[in-house]
A and B are shown apart, each in its own frame.
Chain A
């Protein structure tokens, strides 16, 4: 395990946890620190009478600590990781104590058990399981059908009366419709409706175009759902997914039809978006260095539940198997198995040579999935240029794309400094209002900014 401070910082659930961990990351705080091939562990004096025992699974990252904190990893786990990053040699290589080996063995056996459990189902059990699912799907379809019908009417009403007064609408106007979509078991549609609240109403030219795009795509989705029986199963699943049909990762992992991909995945970057007061979405983009498959991993956080720990550090290369959610052009994925971190980029990914090439690729996605969004593109020889008072990303043929409104100025400046006014190879995500740079490739190294 080779982790930098930046990597460990990203593993911390909160900046304050990282700071607190950093304060304890001096060897003087630790009464014991040791390592084995698959783990590091240590003991640190806490407020209790006994020292806290901290252990880290370094192969398939996980942490455990005897402190009462409900954060994972806790500040002690962060501290031992930081200490290891600074002074790996000061960790004694010794035999794992029972506490550590039991925990690691249990983790390994649990992973195997889940796979075995799925395989061990008899045909009868499997049939029963499928029947149950079909029944539940049928019941849900009735709800969703009514939701789709209601939303179609709502959209038509909006068009009949005109959208000129959209900026004057209160947020609750859209929230109420979104809530009804949730009631209709179509949370995906609720998200589309909430999109009206996020339009840039301060700029008339922008919100009008964005509203038209949103309306066009949403109505197309509703129409596609109504006629989905005529479409192939992959497209049907794509539409279902967009409407908010959830797929359990456990089911997908055991489904033979689920697309999986083993690769060395480069973690291109991540963003966190607070959708409203109740939901935060973490997006992490990956790129398969051998397969050139791109993937997005989503994690959701609410007031009552923290996002599942991803253990994916921006800029790192993870050897892992991803399983993709069903879609006509699979993109959303989850980590099925994660083996280890790699320091070096052994394979060079394929880049798009210019914006025209990227445009062609995008059209291919749109032909099969018109709602495709948040896709990453690796661009060769492009640079940041100021144009008419805005910063744009320009290729060597002088074609350019605008930068997303949500892209932080500080990060833009860091890109400017890092690229040093020269053409560079860049990873970008296409968002509704422009491109969002994630990181720079330079000399077989990827730096996430």
Chain B
């Protein structure tokens, strides 16, 4: 190698500046050069270079690795999906846009259900794609890439999913960052509340007050009767009221109270109902005193319910008492309000929302003080009866009402491209499948079939539309396209591709075959954004079912 180093030095500086010293070349090369004739010194150098280069190349055997060769391979306990399923995955990956992720989730759900893994050739492309997907998709992906995929994620940061630590067990709980721990706790709560609570109890004393509030908020969102003892214990000791209570401590106590008011067997719930009963008059109305009394007074509200001493928002509540009442309406399940007021759902709602004592006059109109709380109650406890009743009244779902609700409760609202009633959307998300379909089919104005935001509320239902709904939807959208009424949103086809019932495919094909041409200019839209995606989506979902029967 010294020879080549010398040649390199000469080449870099040039033969004008540095002469070739043949004595530094290999002996064999030297002897070969002796028999050669050279035109000039550059010719001499270039020939020497050629000889030495090939001489070195021939003698340079591959280098030796001095480390340890890996002894163990990465074993998978789960089987990979079949070759047929691999082809299905290939088809999914060919799809563009949002439908790809939706179908991929269906595919992964089927794999997870049967404890199967994605074929190994797809691990890298999917890890790359997964980084751009929603958290839930990434979480599913993590479960189907197997040990090999997880090994790649550990070795190569670029391929690591956001959720990588989320399901890596209790290590995350002990060593993860706050966000990961919260995600992990929520994930565990959904799987096994008792185990999740044990985990929380094991580190509770070491948690900061901020963390405690976060975990209590998660408990509130996933509330279960098994939480009662833990929460009552906290309220009795650690978060018992005392005069110089700090802001965060009070926030924790308030969340605990909110939880306990949702648990009918809790002491606080019973005690509160007992008090509220005293204010129900003969007309079955809730008569809130205008002045403070033994129950409706600032000291009691602060000490027992961690509320503020006085109304925080005079724009919304005309009295302190009404502000405190909104808290009870929001947290006590509707079933108990009905019992308390001896009214049915319609009457109860009418009382809360239309009784003058609970209303405020804004710009000459009466606005209910309690509507945001009623909404929050409907979501918090998934009160189906309440949701349906709210949906029946457009004034309850008006943007004004809902915007106030969003502001007050900091709800996360999906970005909207359609002009759409947000309240209706929020309520639809909380409905069950039958009610959801019933509600939509009852809408007279046919443009709802184009409404992406409205249709996307089905996502919480986790399954296909019914045949009846699919038939109705496809017939309606065909009719609208034919009449050229309304502005079609191409994204509804993506949703339909994911939710359209395969039992309605014959109708879809028949419409396409027999009546497709009658659409005229709209035919392109129909083919590209309705018929094509639905067919592709339905075929893929059918293949998933066929190859991975549940």
Over the window 346-370 of chain B, the binary record of Cβ atoms lying under 8 Å from chain A Cβ atoms (1 yes, 0 no) is 0000000000000000000000000
- A contact residues around B8 at 8 Å (CB): 208-209, 212
User: What are 29 sample pairs from A and B whose C-beta atoms fall under 8 A apart?
Assistant: A5-B91, A22-B91, A28-B512, A28-B513, A155-B42, A156-B40, A156-B46, A159-B11, A159-B15, A160-B16, A162-B12, A162-B14, A162-B16, A212-B7, A213-B53, A215-B49, A219-B47, A355-B61, A394-B69, A395-B62, A398-B65, A398-B66, A398-B69, A400-B63, A400-B65, A413-B152, A417-B148, A418-B121, A421-B72
With A6-B90, A26-B535 already in contact, the answer to whether A160 and B128 are too (CB < 8 A) is no
- B contact residues around A416 at 8 Å (CB): 152
A19, A216, A413, A422: the one within 8 Å of B50 (CB): A216
A126 within 8 A of B: no
With A19-B96, A417-B120, A417-B124 already in contact, the answer to whether A401 and B42 are too (CB < 8 A) is no
With A366-B57, A417-B120, A417-B123 already in contact, the answer to whether A19 and B94 are too (CB < 8 A) is yes
A171 within 8 A of B: no
Bound complex: CA of A447 vs CA of B119, how far in Å? 13
Q: Are B124 and A5 in contact (CB under 8 A)?
A: no
Q: Are B94 and A18 in contact (CB under 8 A)?
A: yes
**Distance between A17 CB and nearest chain B CB, rounded to angstroms:** 12
B536 within 8 A of A: yes
- A contact residues around B70 at 8 Å (CB): 383, 385, 421
Classify the interface of chain A: helix, strand, loop or mixed: helix
**Distance between A399 CB and nearest chain B CB, rounded to angstroms:** 4
Bound complex: CA of A28 vs CA of B506, how far in Å? 10
B74 within 8 A of A: yes
A223 within 8 A of B: yes
Q: Are A161 and B152 in contact (CB under 8 A)?
A: no
With A5-B91, A387-B67 already in contact, the answer to whether A159 and B45 are too (CB < 8 A) is yes
Q: Are B123 and A399 in contact (CB under 8 A)?
A: no
- B contact residues around A22 at 8 Å (CB): 91, 94
Nearest A residue (CB) for B513: A28
B47, B65, B149, B509: the one within 8 Å of A394 (CB): B65
Nearest B residue (CB) for A213: B53
B442 within 8 A of A: no
**Distance between A212 CB and nearest chain B CB, rounded to angstroms:** 6
B43, B61, B536: the one within 8 Å of A26 (CB): B536
Nearest B residue (CB) for A399: B62
Q: Are B73 and A422 in contact (CB under 8 A)?
A: yes
- B contact residues around A289 at 8 Å (CB): none
- A contact residues around B43 at 8 Å (CB): 156
Over the window 1-21 of chain B, the binary record of Cβ atoms lying under 8 Å from chain A Cβ atoms (1 yes, 0 no) is 000100110011111110000
B244 within 8 A of A: no
With A208-B8, A387-B65 already in contact, the answer to whether A161 and B16 are too (CB < 8 A) is yes
When A and B form their complex, which 8 residue pairs have the shortest distance between CB atoms, in order from nearest? A162-B14, A156-B42, A355-B62, A216-B53, A399-B62, A219-B46, A421-B73, A220-B50
- B contact residues around A394 at 8 Å (CB): 65, 69
Over the window 328-350 of chain A, the binary record of Cβ atoms lying under 8 Å from chain B Cβ atoms (1 yes, 0 no) is 00000000000000000000000
Bound complex: CA of A148 vs CA of B54, how far in Å? 22
Q: Are A159 and B14 in contact (CB under 8 A)?
A: yes
With A23-B536, A212-B53 already in contact, the answer to whether A413 and B156 are too (CB < 8 A) is yes
B63, B121, B156: the one within 8 Å of A399 (CB): B63
Bound complex: CA of A323 vs CA of B107, how far in Å? 46
Bound complex: CA of A213 vs CA of B54, how far in Å? 9
**Distance between A355 CB and nearest chain B CB, rounded to angstroms:** 4
Chain B interface size, as a band, is: 35 or more
With A26-B539, A215-B49 already in contact, the answer to whether A160 and B15 are too (CB < 8 A) is yes
**Distance between A447 CB and nearest chain B CB, rounded to angstroms:** 8
A4, A28, A164, A414: the one within 8 Å of B12 (CB): A164
With A26-B539, A366-B58 already in contact, the answer to whether A414 and B42 are too (CB < 8 A) is no
Q: Are B49 and A28 in contact (CB under 8 A)?
A: no
Nearest B residue (CB) for A26: B535
B64 within 8 A of A: yes
Over the window 54-88 of chain B, the binary record of Cβ atoms lying under 8 Å from chain A Cβ atoms (1 yes, 0 no) is 10011001111111011011100000000000010
* Residue among A155, A216, A447 with most chain B CB within 10 A: A216
Q: Are B58 and A363 in contact (CB under 8 A)?
A: yes
Chain A, 145-196, CB within 8 A of any chain B CB: 155-157, 159-164
- B contact residues around A398 at 8 Å (CB): 64-66, 69
Chain A, 399-449, CB within 8 A of any chain B CB: 399-401, 410, 413-414, 416-418, 420-422, 447, 449
- A contact residues around B50 at 8 Å (CB): 216-217, 219-220, 223
With A26-B536, A399-B63 already in contact, the answer to whether A162 and B17 are too (CB < 8 A) is yes
Q: Are B69 and A219 in contact (CB under 8 A)?
A: no
Bound complex: CA of A157 vs CA of B11, how far in Å? 11
B159 within 8 A of A: yes
**Distance between A25 CB and nearest chain B CB, rounded to angstroms:** 9
Over the window 23-43 of chain A, the binary record of Cβ atoms lying under 8 Å from chain B Cβ atoms (1 yes, 0 no) is 100101000000000000000
- A contact residues around B125 at 8 Å (CB): 410
With A156-B42, A163-B12, A420-B148 already in contact, the answer to whether A399 and B61 are too (CB < 8 A) is yes
Q: Are B62 and A4 in contact (CB under 8 A)?
A: no
A234 within 8 A of B: no
Given contacts A5-B90, A400-B65, 5 further A-B contacts (CB under 8 A): A164-B12, A219-B46, A356-B61, A394-B69, A413-B159
Over the window 273-294 of chain B, the binary record of Cβ atoms lying under 8 Å from chain A Cβ atoms (1 yes, 0 no) is 0000000000000000000000
Bound complex: CA of A143 vs CA of B333, how far in Å? 95
B532 within 8 A of A: yes
Chain B, 26-58, CB within 8 A of any chain A CB: 40, 42-43, 45-47, 49-50, 53-54, 57-58
Bound complex: CA of A209 vs CA of B49, how far in Å? 12
Chain A, 368-386, CB within 8 A of any chain B CB: 370, 383, 385
- B contact residues around A449 at 8 Å (CB): 121
A81 within 8 A of B: no
A392 within 8 A of B: yes
- A contact residues around B91 at 8 Å (CB): 5, 22
With A23-B536, A156-B40, A212-B4 already in contact, the answer to whether A28 and B509 are too (CB < 8 A) is yes
B46, B72, B73, B532: the one within 8 Å of A215 (CB): B46
